[in-house]
């Protein structure tokens, strides 16, 4: 083996940027502990620009109070000894909820030109972020879980912010709307567990948007660069009632001006939402020339409007490559609402999805409308490779009849395979 002194030198004498590389990859606790390795390592950790504290560093077997104290103690210590810029600060320790120390840490960080700030508290109470958080002018990345936001009146926006995630957080709706519009560079925005009667998003540089919560109305006003859109709704009685009363076309409110959309994910109830006020196609404008990936969850195939939304998106997205649909059909009504004329009209449409290669149909109950839909996709997709179909658990006897029916449908693509995915009983 090598001369021991020599080898020690190799490690300790690594270029400082590499030592930093190593230290930032360590859990912060291990990084701090390198200070007692040797004289050369004494102060090495104190200049790492990223500080990430999470629960993993504290034994989970201890009572919450102990973890809490340990965590506070440790973070105080690290901040005291740290020397130099802190670009990234991440704190995700659930039990630190409503702990006043966090206010101080944030105040301390507010003098550090921090770029990325993450606070993931996950407990019963909301944490009201101190006003000094809103003075982080270098911030590019902000992620808050279970926080309450109340920017001071002097707040003029985060001029550098690109990434914003608010989960289970709380604020007035107009605060959020103005927060978004006062972050001119915002590219990535996530808002979940949100409760708002109406939300309007205006963000000229936004590329990624995810919304989840109780929304009555959603408007994408100025989002010309949007690439990925994912929306899920919680359907409350209140919202269901509101949707019944809505007369305007929801689809145009959201998908009216997103010319660069590449990926659309309609999570729970969003297809239902889009179907409200659905207009005849000739009165809808817009094609989605860049849309490659479309996922629609909980499509109610008993509802002609929901089916229309799905068909409309497929027909108007010439670049579509992947399609995933999960059904949520009410079997009782579905076959009553079956309208042969409607489908004959669709099948006779002169359209095709030239790039569609992969289709996944999940939770299929085998009702007529679903089968016609599959027939439509098979007939209009000349490049299709795989059409996989997973029957709903309620389909009796493995859906043998459904399968026989499916195999009869003509396929526009000679290489299209139908994969019938049955759960092993």
Partner 1 sequence: MSEGDMAIMKPEVMKSYIWLQTADGSIQQVEEEVAMFCPMICREVIQSSMGSSKNYAISLPQRVNTAILSLILDYCRFHQVQGRSNKERKSFDEKFIRMDTKKLCELTSAADSLQLKPLVDLTSRALARMIEGKTPEEIRETFHLPDDLTEEEKLEPLRNTADDPRIRLLNRLYARKRKELKEKEKLKNVEIEEEQEDHRSVDDLLSYINGGNGDSKQVRAPKHKKKNKKKKDQSKDHCCNNANKNCKEGTLSSTCENGDKCKVVPSASQTPKQEDSADDTISPKVEFDDDIDDELDPAMKEKLDREVEDFARRLNSDWPERMQEILSLGQEGRAVPISMNGNGSLSRYTRLDRR
Q: Is 336 in the site for partner 1 (CB under 8 A)?
A: no
Q: Is 11 in the site for partner 1 (CB under 8 A)?
A: yes
Nearest approach, Cβ of residue 53 and partner 1 (Å)? 11
What string marks each residue from 143 to 172 as x (binds partner 1 by CB under 8 A) or -? -------x----------------------
Nearest approach, Cβ of residue 398 and partner 1 (Å)? 34
Residue 3 or 282 having the CB closest to partner 1? 3
Task: Locate 312 and state its tokens.
Answer: 């409309």
Q: Report the distance separating Cα 348 and Cα 390, nearest Å.
A: 27
CB count, 10 Å around CB of 317?
24
Q: Is 111 in the site for partner 1 (CB under 8 A)?
A: no
Residues 45-104 that bind partner 1 (CB under 8 A): 57-58, 62-63, 65-66, 68-70, 72-74, 76-77, 79-81, 83, 98-101, 103-104
Q: Is 36 in the site for partner 1 (CB under 8 A)?
A: yes
Select from 21-29, 85-93, 270-278, 286-294 the region that touches partner 1 (CB under 8 A).
21-29
Residue 79 or 331 having the CB closest to partner 1? 79
Number of residues located near partner 1, criterion CB under 8 A: 61
Residue 30 or 238 having the CB closest to partner 1? 30
Give the 3-state secondary structure of the chain. CCCHHHHHHHHHCCCHHHHHHHHHHCCHHHHHHHHHCCHHHCCHHHHCCEEEEEHHHCCCCCCHHHHHHHHHHHHHHHHHHCCCCCCEEEEECHHHCCCCHHHHHHHHHCCCCCCEEEEECCCCCCEECCHHHHHCCCCCEEEEECEECCCCCCCCCCCCCCEEEEECCECCHHHHHHHHHCCCCCCEEEEEEEEEEEEEEECCCCCEEEEEEEEEEEEEEECCCCCEEEEEECCCHHHHHHHHHCCCCHHHHHHCCCCCCCEEEECCCHHHHHHCCCCCHHHCCCCCCCCCEEEEEEECCCCHHHHHHHHHHHHCCCCCCEEEEEECCCHHHHCCCCCHHHHHHHHCCCCCCCCCCEEEEEEECCCHHHHHHHHHHHHHCCCCCEEEEEECCCCHHHHHHHHHHHHHCCCCCCCCEEEECCCCC
Q: Is 26 in the site for partner 1 (CB under 8 A)?
A: yes
Judge whether 326 and 296 are in contact, CB under 8 Å: yes
Nearest approach, Cβ of residue 12 and partner 1 (Å)? 7
Select from 23-31, 159-167, 210-218, 233-241 the region that touches partner 1 (CB under 8 A).
23-31
The residue from 54, 94, 107, 279 that contacts partner 1 (CB under 8 A) is 107
Q: At 165, phi and psi to the nearest 5?
A: -130, 125
Nearest approach, Cβ of residue 123 and partner 1 (Å)? 12
Residue 42 or 417 having the CB closest to partner 1? 42
Select from 2-10, 155-163, 217-225, 410-418 the region that touches partner 1 (CB under 8 A).
2-10
Judge whether 195 and 214 are in contact, CB under 8 Å: yes
Nearest approach, Cβ of residue 367 and partner 1 (Å)? 40
The residue from 12, 246, 324, 326 that contacts partner 1 (CB under 8 A) is 12
Q: Is 14 in the site for partner 1 (CB under 8 A)?
A: yes
Select from 124-132, 215-223, 267-275, 402-410 the region that touches partner 1 (CB under 8 A).
124-132
CA 383 and chain centroid, separation: 29
Q: Is 357 in the site for partner 1 (CB under 8 A)?
A: no
Residue 69 or 210 having the CB closest to partner 1? 69
The residue from 37, 257, 304, 383 that contacts partner 1 (CB under 8 A) is 37
Nearest approach, Cβ of residue 57 and partner 1 (Å)? 7
Judge whether 323 and 359 are in contact, CB under 8 Å: yes
CA 91 and chain centroid, separation: 21
Contact residues: partner 1, CB under 8 A:
2, 4-8, 10-12, 14-15, 17-18, 21-23, 25-27, 29-30, 33-34, 36-39, 41-43, 57-58, 62-63, 65-66, 68-70, 72-74, 76-77, 79-81, 83, 98-101, 103-104, 107, 125, 128, 130-132, 150
């Amino acid at each position: 083996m090598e001369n021991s002194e020599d080898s020690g030198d190799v490690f300790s004498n690594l270029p400082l940027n590499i030592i930093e590389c190593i230290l930032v990859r360590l859990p912060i606790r291990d990084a701090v502990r390198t200070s007692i390795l040797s004289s050369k390592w004494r102060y090495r950790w104190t200049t790492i620009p990223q500080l990430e504290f999470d629960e993993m560093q504290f034994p989970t077997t201890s009572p919450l109070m102990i973890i809490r104290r340990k965590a506070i103690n440790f973070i105080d210590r690290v901040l005291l000894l740290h020397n130099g810029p802190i670009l990234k600060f991440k704190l995700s320790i659930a039990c630190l909820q409503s702990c006043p120390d966090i206010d101080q840490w944030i105040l301390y960080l507010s003098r550090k030109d921090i770029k990325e700030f993450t606070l993931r508290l996950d407990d019963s109470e909301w944490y009201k972020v101190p006003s000094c958080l809103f003075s982080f002018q270098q911030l590019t990345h902000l992620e808050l879980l279970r926080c309450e936001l109340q920017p001071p009146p002097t707040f003029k926006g985060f001029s550098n912010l690109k990434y914003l995630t608010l989960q289970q957080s709380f604020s007035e709706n107009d605060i959020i709307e103005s927060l978004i519009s006062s972050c001119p560079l915002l590219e990535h925005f996530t808002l979940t567990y949100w409760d708002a009667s109406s939300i309007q998003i205006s963000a000229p540089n936004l590329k990624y948007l995810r919304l989840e919560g109780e929304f009555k109305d959603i408007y994408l006003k100025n989002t010309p660069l949007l690439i990925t859109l994912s929306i899920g709704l919680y359907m409350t009685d209140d919202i269901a009632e509101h949707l019944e009363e809505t007369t305007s076309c929801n689809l145009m409110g959201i998908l009216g001006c997103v010319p660069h959309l590449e990926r659309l994910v309609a999570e729970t109830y969003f297809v239902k939402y889009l179907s409200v006020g659905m207009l005849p196609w000739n009165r809808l404008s817009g094609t989605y020339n860049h849309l490659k990936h479309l996922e629609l969850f909980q499509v109610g195939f008993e509802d002609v409007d929901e089916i229309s939304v799905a068909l409309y998106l497929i027909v108007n997205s010439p670049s579509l490559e992947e399609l995933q649909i999960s059904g949520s059909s009410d079997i009782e009504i579905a076959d009553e609402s079956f309208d042969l004329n409607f489908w004959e009209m669709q099948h006779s449409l002169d359209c095709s999805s030239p790039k569609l290669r992969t289709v996944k149909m999940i939770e299929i109950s085998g009702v007529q409308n679903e089968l016609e839909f599959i027939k439509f996709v098979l007939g209009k997709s000349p490049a299709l490779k795989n059409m996989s179909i997973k029957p709903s658990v309620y389909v009796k006897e493995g859906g043998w009849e459904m399968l026989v029916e499916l195999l009869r449908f003509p396929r526009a693509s000679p290489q299209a395979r139908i994969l019938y995915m049955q759960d092993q009983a």
